[in-house]
Amino acid sequence: MKKKQVHNFNPGPSALPLCVLEEIQESFLDYQYSGMSIVEISHRSRWFEGVLNDAVDRLKRLLKLDERFHVLFLQGGASLQFCMVPMNFLKAGDTADYVNTGLWSAKAIKEAQLQGKSIHIVASSEDRDFSYIPQKIPYNEGSTYLHFTSNNTIRGTQFREFPESAHIPLVADMSSDIMSRPFDVSPFGFLYGGIQKNLGAAGACLAIIRKDFLERVPETLPTMLSYRTHASKNSLFNTPACFSIYTAQLVLKWLEETIGGLEQMASINQKKAQMLYGVLDESGFYNPTAEPDSRSLMNITFRLSIQNLEAKFIQEAEMSGFYGLKGHRSVGGCRVSIYNAVTISSVAALVDFMKTFERKYG
Ligand SMILES: *Cc1c(COP(=O)(O)O)cnc(C)c1O
């Protein structure tokens, strides 16, 4: 097959498993003998309903969700959820707690504040430039939910353990680590994440909502902005992001059948991260930016001790076939995103490149 395969470390949209891309290519012109492409058929056809229901079933199995949880595929990205979460779950007089661990958390906070909702920022890592995850979050008794960002894509920090919040339900933006490891969904009222990092092609946003949270949603919201609408219609109130959901179905099938589930995925992800942090820790040339106990297994962020070599590092990496290593424009530096689909062999090749680069310029 004619496909230019590079080592893809893009932060999102990002690498997909090669076998998934091949399956899309093979079935693209004729989806399951329908004589039509998956992008040409009705979202209400048996073909697409099969895709959607299979994606939902696989998600439920992988995350061990019980019947209290609805799985939705929405549009507007994680960014629209920043606004929909407070709109749907906070009535007059309700308050919510937010943890600020970087740009994405701050955007979620801003959208709640814009609506005049009563929220408290109960913990923040701004004091040390968002290089860590605050421990022991001092949540407020009586809050409707505690919102946090499970993995900070830009800063390279990640919650190892989710906040302890007793009976206050958790709400999380899991855009950049959903389905990268197993976790207990039961403390969550709601969680969400864009498809484009760990799950498939951009377009859809995965959301998981617990029934008691669905009951909080006011009847008066605009129809499209109400989680009730999408839950009652199984994500088919209007035309969903069909192609994106299709790619997610194939990635979930790969995760379940080829990888073998979330435990196996997590151990592969741990191995990849250890290989990279190993190089960073051994060297005085590369300096990791996240504090050790807060390091992300998905986005490894670092600076070069000679900062004016960073552009050269990124450029030589590209010439050697390593893509996507530039840090987010808001922070600079370098970032290696190693989502589920990035292989151990790609990481091993990058490790070799980094060691060679250090010998050459360090
Ligand atoms: C990428 C990302 C987003 C933005 O997602 P969109 O789908 O583009 O709205 C939000 N939160 C986190 C943690 C992200 O990594």
Same domain assignment for residues 282 and 255:
no
Residue 304 placed within a domain: yes
- Chain position carrying tokens 């069909």: 242
Residue 14 placed within a domain: no
Question: At 356, which CATH number?
Answer: 3.90.1150.10
Question: At 60, which CATH number?
Answer: 3.40.640.10
Find the residues whose C-beta lies inside 6 A of ligand 1.
Answer: 12, 77-79, 104, 149, 153, 173, 175-176, 194, 205
Same domain assignment for residues 48 and 166:
yes
pLDDT of 117 reads: 97
Beta bridge partners of 207: 72, 192
Q: What does residue 286 show for φ and ψ, rounded to 5 degrees?
A: -105, 130
Same domain assignment for residues 57 and 202:
yes
pLDDT of 50 reads: 97
Same domain assignment for residues 173 and 53:
yes
Domain extent at residue 64 = 21-259
Residue 355 is among the residues annotated as catalytic for this protein = no
pLDDT tens-place string over residues 212-255: 999 999 999 999 999 999 999 999 999 999 999 999 999 999 99
Count the helix, strand and coil residues of the chain and give each as a percent rounded to the nearest 5: 40, 15, 40
Given the residues 97, 117, 173, 177, the one annotated as active site: 173
Q: Report how many domains make up the chain.
A: 2
Contact 112, 99 (CB under 8 A): no
Same domain assignment for residues 337 and 269:
yes
Same domain assignment for residues 253 and 273:
no
Residue 197 is among the residues annotated as catalytic for this protein = yes
Q: Single out the residue in 259, 281, 296 at which a domain terminates.
A: 259
- Reading across the β-sheet that carries 170-173, which strands appear in turn? 69-74, 205-210, 188-194, 170-173, 146-149, 95-100, 118-124
Q: Ligand 1, residues 14, 73, 79: which to mutate, most atoms within 8 A of Cβ?
A: 79
Q: Single out the residue in 224, 259, 294 at which a domain terminates.
A: 259
In the reported structure, the alpha carbon of residue 12 is separated from the centroid of ligand 1 by a whole-number distance in angstroms of 8
Given the residues 104, 254, 272, 326, the one annotated as active site: 104
Same domain assignment for residues 175 and 38:
yes
pLDDT of 3 reads: 60
Give SS3 for 136: coil
Residue 57 placed within a domain: yes
Same domain assignment for residues 93 and 213:
yes
- List, for the chain, all residue ranges whose pLDDT scores fall below the cut of 50: 1
In the reported structure, the alpha carbon of residue 171 is separated from the centroid of ligand 1 by a whole-number distance in angstroms of 15
Same domain assignment for residues 236 and 176:
yes
pLDDT of 166 reads: 86
Contact 304, 287 (CB under 8 A): yes
As given in the structure block, the two tokens for residue 269 are: 């992800």
Residue 9 placed within a domain: no
What is the length of the chain? 362
Nearest CA owner, ligand 1 atom 13: 175
Residue 317 placed within a domain: yes
Residue 208 placed within a domain: yes
Same domain assignment for residues 62 and 203:
yes
Pairing outcome for strands 322-323 and 7-8? parallel
- Chain position carrying tokens 């498809």: 195
Residue 334 placed within a domain: yes
Q: Single out the residue in 259, 287, 318 at which a domain terminates.
A: 259
pLDDT tens-place string over residues 51-82: 999 999 999 999 999 999 999 999 999 999 99
Same domain assignment for residues 83 and 188:
yes
- The rounded distance, in Å, linking the Cα atoms of 100 and 97 is 10
As given in the structure block, the two tokens for residue 327 are: 């840090």
Same domain assignment for residues 98 and 207:
yes
Angle, CA of 129, 300 and 189, to the nearest 5°: 75
Residue 8 placed within a domain: no
Contact 245, 105 (CB under 8 A): no
pTM surpassing 0.85? yes
Given the residues 47, 97, 197, 326, the one annotated as active site: 197
